[in-house]
Amino acid sequence: MNNNLNLQKVTVMDSKANTRAFQRAKDFFEKEYKDRGMVKWQGFFLSDHVEDVEKYANEREQVEQQEQMPSMTLEEISEVLFDAYRKLETIEYQLKGVDVLGHYPPIKKGKVKGNDENVAVIGNKRVDISQINWCQII
């Protein structure tokens, strides 16, 4: 019976000690603790993640700053494509149009490997010649 009484006293004392500790912690976080915001999470970013974020940011910046190159006639485009094919040169080209946000298409590069009717093979892609806005040999 004496052991039961001691156990009850310990439980009551533990309960009071827990309440005081909880109150101390609550007071600390409400009155003294200064959250460091995002700084505390910096250690969790992996270098690969940081590189991917930087790469994505650079790509977005290029897309947003891309200007429309001067439009060329179909004859001018065909002449550049033929010269590049004949000389085995690489070209830069921009397609016509804009995306949903009003950004112009990026400038792409590739070797002209041939053509079929109104389609040119540039690099590994088949490009409709009528969809090319601008091109030049580089």
Judge if 82 and 58 occupy the same domain: yes
Do 126 and 87 reside in the same domain of the chain?
Answer: yes
DSSP string, 33-95: ----GGGGGGGG--HHHHHHHHHHHHHHHHHHHPPPPPP--HHHHHHHHHHHHHHT-EEEEEE
pLDDT of residue 130: 95
**Domain containing 106 — which CATH number?**
2.30.30.100
| Same domain, yes or no: 53 and 86 | yes
pTM score: 0.58
- What number of CA atoms fall less than 13 Å from residue 88's CA on the CB side? 0
Whether 123 and 105 share a structural domain: yes
Supply 31's token pair.
């009155």
Of 64, 126, 134, 127, nearest to 96 by C-alpha is 134
55 and 78 assigned to the same domain: yes
pLDDT of residue 61: 86
Q: Rounded to an integer, what distance in angstroms lies between the CA atom of residue 60 and that of residue 105?
A: 12
Q: Are residues 29 and 95 in the same domain?
A: no
Mark whether 70 and 24 lie in a shared domain: no
* Residue numbers in the chain where pLDDT is lower than 50: 5, 7, 10
pLDDT value at residue 7: 44
* Residues of the domain holding 108: 36-138
Based on the fold, state whether residues 80 and 137 are members of the same structural domain: yes
Q: Domain tally for the chain? A: 2
